[in-house]
Structures are given as C-alpha cells and as structure tokens.
Amino acid sequence: MHRTKHRLCPLCEASCGLLVTVSPSGSLAAVDPNPADLLSAGHSCAKGLGLAAIDNDPDRLRTPLIKRNGRFEPAGWDEAFDEIARRLPPLLAEDRNAVAIYTGNPASFNLDHQLYQGTLLVSLGTRNVYSPSMLDTMPKHYTLAALFGTGMSFPVPDIDRTRLLVILGSNPLVSNGSTMSAPGMAGRLRALQERGGRFVVVDPAATRTARAADLHIPILPGADACFLLGTLSVIVRENLVDLGRAADFVDGLDTIRELAKRYPPEVVAPVCGVDEHTITTLARDIATSEAAAVHGRIGTCTQEFGTLASWLVDVLNIVTGNLDREGGVMFTLPPAGGPTTWPASRKGWPHGRWKSRVRGHPEMVGEFPAACLAEEIDTEGPGRIRALITVAGNPARSVPNSARLEKALGTLDFMISVDAYLNETTRHADVLLPPPRLATRGQMGLTTNLYSVRNVARYSAPVTEHGPHEMPEWQTILRLAAIARGESTRPIGELDHEAAVSAARRAAKLTGRDVDQVLAAVEPRTGPERLLDMRVRSGPYGDRFGQVPGGLTLADLEAAPDGIDFGPLRPRLPEVLRTPNGRIQLAPEELVADLARLDEGLTRRRTGLVLINRRQVRTLNSWLHNALPQPDAGHYALFVNPRDAAARSLSDGDLARVRTNAGEVTVEVRTTTEVREGVVSLPHGWGHDGGSLGVPAAEAVPGANVNLLVDDVFLEPLTGTAVLNGFPVEVEPA
C-alpha cells in the first residue's frame, strides 16, 4: 500500500514542506506541496516536486566504485573502505596538509554532514579545506562577524510586515530566496503590495523579480557598494539618520557620517549607471518608510567590492532605524540553537591564522578560497596537495578557471568522492562512495533556521528505510574519519557513541546538566537523530533535558510534522550581539580602509561588455541537470542585449565565442532586453562535456561552463571570494 509522509525539501534554503507518496517498495512515487506546512503553506517549486525523479534517477550511483587500471568497477562497501584505508593514511602520515577536502553546497542542507562533518575535519587535521562559501557567501559572513560578532548573525528582512523591501543582487522569485528562508516568495511579495507596501529591485538584469517589482533600478554590474554609499550620503546630508532600537548599542556612527559625505549621488551616479534623482529618492524612501528592509545577496557578494557592498547593506538598515524593528530586518531565534544563541566564542571570528602555501592567502574560518585549490595541487614543492576528498561538490564546474582545476584533479595521487553521480569532478576519483537516497534522511534546516522569516520549528523524519546496498551518509563520514585517525576497524556504533559524547559535552555546558544526564535523556536514539535531539533540547525553546517542563524536544517535532510555530520575529537587541564589547561595530577599520580601493575604482571607466551570472528555477549549480530535464533551450544560452548583438552581427540562435584572459567558451545567443546594454549573462553549472561521465541526460544538453571564463587570480581581497559578476568579456560570432 502507498503511504503519504511529510518531508521537508532538502534542496534549497526555502526548505518547503512537502507531502511524499511512498510506494510499497520504499521508493518515492509522487511529491506534492504541503498546504498545512507552517512556513511554506503549500508552496514548492519544480525542483522539490522533482524529488522522486532525483531519488529514482537510474543514473545515480547505487554502489561504491573503485577505479582499477583507469576503469571504474562496482565494489562492496568494505572493499571500498579497505582501499581507502590502504591509500589514505600513508599520505596523511607524510603530511596532513597533503590531503584536501572540498565540500559542496548540498551538504549545507544535509543533517548528516552538519552533525558529523566536524569529526571528519578534525580527524583529517588538514588546513586545506575548501567549499563554495569562498565562492559566493564569505563577504556576508565576514561583515556580519565584524558588525555583530558572528558570521551567522543574519538580519533577515521581516518580509511579511515590511512596507518597503529593497533587494540587491538577488532574484528570489527564481532562487526562492537566499540567507532569507521564506518559501512562497511570490505570495509574500504580492501580499506586501496588497497591503500598500512596495518592493524595489536593484539589478543589472530585468530578472523575473525585477519585472514584478514596483521599481527596477538597472544598476551597472559591480557598482552596488557605490550605490549604497550614494544612498547613505543622502541620508546623512538630509539629517535622516535615526538608529531606532539600535541607538544604545552602536559604535562608529561618526565615522559613517564622515565617509558617507565623500560619495554624494552626483559622484556615484555615473559609476552606477543610475541617475542622481533615483538614488536620492530611494534613500529618502528607505529612511522615511514606516518600516523598510534592505537585502543583498549573491550578486552583491560575488563582485569586486562584494565585502563593501555586504557591509553597506547592513549599515543602511541600521542608520535608518530598521535593524531589529518589526517590518525591518530582524534576527531569527533558531529552534536548534546557533551562534546567535550560544555564548560568544573566545575565538571570535577566526581568520588569518595561517596562509595558503602558493599565494599566501589568509584562511577564513578554517578555509582557503576555492579559487586557490588548483594551484595548491599543480604547484610543485613541499606541502603540495596530493589527495582530495570531495563531498557533494563538483569543483570542476564550480570554481574559477575550472580548466586548470580539472587538469590538476587528474594529477592527484589519490582522490575520494562522496557523490551521487559520476560527473566532471568525480570521474577523477579513485574511490566513489554514493550517498543514500534523499528520502532516507531526516531533515531539519540547522542553517536555514538561522535566517528564517518566522520562528518556526520543523523536522521531517526519514520516509523510507535504507536499501540493502545503501550506507547512511553519516556512517560514511564517520568511517572516513576513523580511517584518517588510523582506526579503520572500529565498529560504527562505537564511533557514533564517541560523536554523541562529544555533542553531549557541549549540550551539557549550554544547559548546566551532566553529560550522563544529557545522554540518558536522548536514549534510545542513535545517529543524527540523537545529536539533533541534543541540539533541539539545548536550544532556546528546548526542555533543557527535563529542566523546563513542556520545553521543545525532537519527539515534539516528530509529533507535529507541519511544524510548531513560535511566532513572528521578535526584537533581539542587545542579547544577540557577540562582539567583544557587546556592541554593533558600524565602521570596522578594515572595511573603512577598503574604501580606498573603491575610490580608485570610481575613476575607472569600462568599455566593452561585462558578464553576470543568472539563476534558474530548475537547476541548483550543476547536480540536477541529469534528473530534471530543462524545458527551455534558452536556459543555458548567453543573454545579449539586442543592440550589443547587432553591433557584433549576432542574432538569436547564433553561436558566439565568449573570451576572457582565463579562457573561452562557445555558446548559443539569445537576444533579450532582460540584460541592459553592455551586459551579457550566462548561468553557472553547465558544460557537462568532460567525457567519461555517468550523466547522459546532462551530457546531451549543450550548455557552456561559465567558470572557464572566470579568473582564479583576481579575487575580492578581504575575503578571497571569487569575482563571478561584472568581469569584462569579448563576444564575437563563433
């Protein structure tokens, strides 16, 4: 008999509630939105509704693979781990930094990774840690840490109560929101307009969100920091500064007043490609609105001045009194706790403790820029990376100058990939370990709950058992960790207990209980659910292991699969602050100093075309292209403004050659006014042409890999984030 079960979508930050139909064999037969879900209320997108297609994709790997004589052969799990135990420890014994790890974006939505990855990292003991956060998010983390004390202190637009929402570098009607978990964005934006509010989109492209907005400001790529400085200057000049609830907790306002004066609209307007009147009017609107929220996301991070832009978004919210105000930007109180509920870390925001070997780039929270990975492999000398573990990541399509990385991957002495597909990256692996189907995992948004637009706690239990050949991913991670520590023969139960004791120590410290009391309280659970129960019970609504009668437990969430509502966002100043003096640092020295670089950029005049990225509804980076067919060939085309196309004798459907210093691609052209003159756009994650792949449906699609064009040398200097938007390109008929 078929059964219907609740399932939180594990694919993106919106974390929609779904209802899945499970067949008697345990496979997913159908997926529908869950109208009763307390956060998503019946919203879902094509990706979530495609969960069955993703889990049932016949090209997904179902058993481990070991490469022998250059060919992959199916293997048993013990055989695969034996091979790893034979080859990994000698490399670690020689030099722990010779083994690198790259963890991809899907791991951010995977409880197994979130709860066990730390054990693997500690066991490896390598400084060569890489992830997409240095490709798309680090400017945000960096500035949040500087202002509020932790890189995860996200002020979230209170979208359901705001009167004016200003969105920069984000296309939430397509992406469904980022660092703002707000499923059902279309409905929320419509409701904003229906209650008399407005939303404004500042974006070089007339994206779907921009087209639905009350006002679209088509800024030039890379000019967001200048634009924000222009608005600040109006607010200062017209005495519109009002810190509101933040007034008693802000340091550095005088510095902001002074520096803002240097960037009046008449100075920044030509750089932004936006007229002075528009900048001035928007500044006044934000400052005088009953409640306004300014939100910047991926487009503001992945540009030359991305860290400045991320900082100025928060400064603008603060000086207009919109921080911690209903309808402004507020801090979520996450049900499983997090950096904004835990005591301040003695380490603060760790960065710059060590440097990368080749170009000497400082680490950021234990990571190096992903753009450094290739050079750390292909540059000879002591400390060279000789082995790599990839987890749910495809750096051969996701990092700048990916041709160089792809070549470097082929030179490694040993490579392990935990991945569902044989793709452009994992084809270089020596051992491939497939994760189980998504339906076998429990789901709670430990990260997305840090920036949810409402305080709602939701958990969905696994909807089906593991098949006979499936290994739970947390067990794969623990077994890799044990091998790295030279303990490959220890039973999984023992390894899990060890992880539980370590988590219990932390939970005990947070709640004033003994470790034994914590462990006893979560019995007889094992695995991720045991660790998760500890997180929930030691969280802000938790029962603190029996000390708070009626407090939240994982069992409560299991009994309420539509979620438990803790209400709209509430003011959290000043308890949310984790800076050393407990105050908001509005003008951190290193950010103020970086304005000198921007000043130099103000005098630069660009000619020719620049390229920007674009989001797509049915894709997430590179990994869904095999399971979810793309309905529209234009998905992967180069968008060119008709005037720019005519100037280059290009028409719709032509092939164009796009060239930069880093490389070139040939791609189909689509002429459209969606991009302004001087700007072309290409989506990320395409170009499945690496050969020897196990993704035939994806390979059949002729998209190009945009990262062949992206420079791996020119990075945003404060954070090492790749400049994926606003770089010059040459376009000509192919």
Nearer to ligand SF4 (CB atom), residue 45 or residue 165: 45
- Least CB distance from residue 16 to ligand SF4, whole Å? 3
Residue whose CB is less far from ligand SF4, 428 or 635: 635
Minimum distance from residue 48 beta carbon to ligand SF4 (Å)? 2
DSSP 49: H
Strands 387-391 and 99-103: parallel
Q: Which two tokens stand for residue 476?
A: 């794969």
- At 370 the three-state DSSP class reads helix
Least distance in angstroms from the C-beta of 541 to ligand SF4: 23
Strands 65-68 and 431-433 turn out to be antiparallel
Distance in angstroms (rounded) separating the CA atoms of residues 701 and 688: 8
Pairing type for strands 71-74 and 65-68 reads antiparallel
Q: How far is the CB of 32 from ligand SF4 (least distance, A)?
A: 11
- Residues within window 521-580 making contact with ligand SF4, judged by CB under 6 A: none
Cα 443 to Cα 447, 448, 458, 734, distances in angstroms? 11, 11, 8, 47
| In the complex, minimum distance from the CB of residue 531 to ligand SF4, in angstroms, rounded to a whole number | 23
Binding status of residue 453 toward ligand SF4 by CB under 6 A: no
Q: How far is the CB of 189 from ligand SF4 (least distance, A)?
A: 14
- The nearest distance, CB 9 to ligand SF4, in angstroms, is 3
Shortest approach of ligand SF4 to residue 187 CB, angstroms?
12
Tokens of 613: 């990225």
* Residue 599 CB neighbour total at 10 angstroms: 11
> Residue 97 or residue 621: which is nearer to ligand SF4 going by CB?
621
Cβ 233 to ligand SF4 shortest distance, Å: 37
Between 11 and 283, name the residue whose CB sits nearer to ligand SF4: 11
Return the residues of window 24-83 that contact ligand SF4 according to CB under 6 A: 44-45, 47-48
Residue 6 falls in which region: left (phi positive, over 0), alpha (psi -120 to 50) or beta: beta
Q: For residue 101, report the phi and psi dihedrals to the nearest 5 degrees.
A: -135, 135
Measured from the CB atom, the residue of 629 and 702 that comes closer to ligand SF4 is 629
- CB nearer ligand SF4, residue 48 or residue 338: 48
- Residue 176 binds to ligand SF4 (criterion: CB under 6 A): yes
Minimum distance from CB of 553 to ligand SF4 (Å)? 25
Residue window 688-707: x/- pattern of binding to ligand SF4, with contact defined by CB under 6 A: --------------------
Q: Which CB, 45 or 374, lies closer to ligand SF4?
A: 45
Q: Which tokens sit at 208? A: 């779907």
Minimum Å distance from CB 109 to ligand SF4?
8
Contact yes or no for 509/563 (Cβ under 8 A): no
Task: Name residue 610's beta-bridge partners.
Answer: 679, 728
Residue 12 beta carbon to ligand SF4: minimum distance, rounded to whole angstroms? 3
- Regarding 183 and contact with ligand SF4 (CB under 6 A), the answer is yes
Fill in the per-residue mask, 127 to 166: x = in contact with ligand SF4 (CB under 6 A), - = not in contact.
----------------------------------------
CA–CA distances in Å: residue 223 to residues 54, 237, 262, 674:
38, 21, 16, 18
3-state secondary structure 115-165: HHHHHHHHHHCCCCEECCHHHHCHHHHHHHHHHHCCCCCCCEECCCCCCEE
Secondary structure element (H or E) that encloses residue 173, with its range: helix 172-175
Structure letter (DSSP) for residue 503:
H
Nearer to ligand SF4, 9 or 256 (CB): 9
Smallest distance, ligand SF4 to C-beta of residue 330, A: 22
Closer of 460 and 705 to ligand SF4 (Cβ): 460
* Whether 275 contacts 281, CB under 8 Å: no
CA distance 484 to 322: 48
CA–CA gap between residue 309 and residue 304 (Å, rounded): 10
Is the Cβ of residue 12 or residue 100 nearer to ligand SF4 in the bound state? 12
Residue 201 binds ligand SF4, judged by CB under 6 A: no
Alpha carbon distance 66, 200 (integer Å): 52
Give the residue with the Cβ less far from ligand SF4, 183 or 400.
183
Size of the site for ligand SF4 (CB under 6 A): 12
Q: Which is nearer to ligand SF4, 12 or 701 (CB)?
A: 12
Name residues whose C-beta falls within 8 Å of residue 498's C-beta, 6 or more positions apart in sequence: none
CB nearer ligand SF4, residue 9 or residue 333: 9
Residues 2-31 that bind ligand SF4 (CB under 6 A): 9, 11-12, 14-16
Q: Cβ 370 to ligand SF4, closest distance in Å? A: 23
Task: Concatenate the DSSP letters of all residues of 621-653 into one string.
Answer: TTTTTTTS--S-GGGGSEEE-HHHHHHTT--TT
225 neighbors 308 (Cβ within 8 angstroms)? yes
485 CB burial (10 A radius; 0-12, 13-18, 19+): middle
Cβ–Cβ under 8 Å, residues 283 and 272: no
Residue 680 touching ligand SF4 (CB under 6 A) = no
Give me the residue whose beta carbon is nearest to ligand SF4: 48
Residue 260 vs 438, nearer CB to ligand SF4? 438
**What's the rounded Cα separation, in Å, for the pair 170 and 172?**
6
Contacting positions for ligand SF4 (CB under 6 A)? 9, 11-12, 14-16, 44-45, 47-48, 176, 183
